[in-house]
């Protein structure tokens, strides 16, 4: 009887191991890379200041991925870049409001293939949910995403042709608006590590959303790294 129970237990463990390996195989290799986000609202601010912006601004967000390795649904995304711009109905991240419905625009790096663009669109939607479900316009442009130094330095630049530009640095004490600043809005995707940053300049000049942005000097950006299971 003891031998039968041990054999059954060993068989169960083997089946669970095979099941886990099969699920991991079907999910695809891990997708890794770096990420930049900016919004037309302070993400690092005191509650009083952040609340003053709710319902007035914060309806526009720019997200950019630099994928270093991995594949999505059998398509290699290693070395690809993509930018998503979202125009929401209200302040994104406000727990007392609904940003939906929203419109999104995707910008693919000019070096991506048609297959990779389709896979990138699926990847972006999977990471950001309903915010990018309604893609109303796509474009192709040279995309540059550069972290200058370590992630903790928070110095980075993003350009997507003439459509999107962003330059960041670390947040300094002199940037504080109320001297009670803290993280108010979380990043729009799950990240392994995220650092809030100060946007020296951020702009979106695309025609696809009927909305443009050009702003200076805001604590409105995130830099981060991600590793997610491929689709």
Report pLDDT digits (tens) over 93-115: 998 889 999 999 999 999 999 99
Residue range of the domain that includes 220: 26-229
Answer whether residue 98 is part of any domain. Answer: yes
Given a cut of 70, is residue 14 above it in pLDDT? no
Answer whether residue 5 is part of any domain. Answer: no
The set of residues, in sequence order, having a beta carbon less than 8 Å from that of 99 and lying 6+ positions away, is 59, 88, 89, 90, 91, 92, 93, 131
Query: How far from 17 is each of 3, 197, 213, 231, CA to CA, in Å?
Result: 21, 42, 51, 20
pLDDT at site 227: 97
Supply the pTM of this predicted model: 0.86
Answer whether residue 145 is part of any domain. Answer: yes
Q: What average pLDDT does the chain have? A: 87
pLDDT at site 113: 98
Confidence grade of residue 20 (pLDDT, cut at 50, 70, 90)? very low
**Average of pLDDT values for 70-90?**
97
Distance CA 160, CA 66 (A): 12
Answer whether residue 109 is part of any domain. Answer: yes
Answer whether residue 111 is part of any domain. Answer: yes
pLDDT at site 3: 45
The domain total for the chain is 1
pLDDT at site 17: 39
Distance CA 225, CA 70 (A): 14
Report pLDDT digits (tens) over 129-178: 999 999 999 999 999 999 999 999 999 999 999 999 999 999 998 887 77
């Amino acid at each position: 009887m003891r031998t039968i129970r041990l054999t059954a237990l060993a068989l169960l463990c083997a089946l669970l191991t095979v099941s886990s390996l099969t699920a991991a195989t079907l999910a695809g290799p891990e997708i890794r890379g770096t990420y930049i986000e900016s919004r037309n609202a302070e993400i690092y601010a005191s509650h009083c200041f952040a609340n003053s912006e709710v319902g007035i601004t914060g309806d526009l967000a720019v997200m950019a991925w630099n994928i270093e390795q991995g594949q999505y649904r059998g398509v290699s995304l290693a070395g690809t870049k993509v930018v998503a711009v979202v125009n929401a109905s209200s302040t994104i991240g406000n727990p007392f409001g609904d940003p939906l419905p929203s419109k999104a625009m995707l910008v693919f790096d000019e070096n991506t293939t048609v297959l990779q663009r389709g896979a990138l669109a699926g990847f972006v939607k999977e990471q950001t949910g309903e915010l990018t479900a309604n893609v109303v316009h796509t474009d192709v442009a040279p995309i540059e995403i550069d972290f200058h130094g370590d992630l903790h330095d928070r110095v980075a630049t993003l350009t997507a042709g003439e459509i999107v530009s962003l330059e960041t640095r670390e947040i300094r004490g002199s940037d504080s608006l109320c001297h009670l600043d803290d993280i108010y809005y979380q990043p729009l995707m799950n990240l392994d590590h995220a650092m809030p940053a100060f946007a020296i300049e951020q702009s979106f000049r695309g025609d696809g959303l009927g909305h443009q942005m050009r702003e200076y000097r805001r604590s409105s950006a995130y830099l981060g790294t991600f590793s997610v299971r491929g689709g």
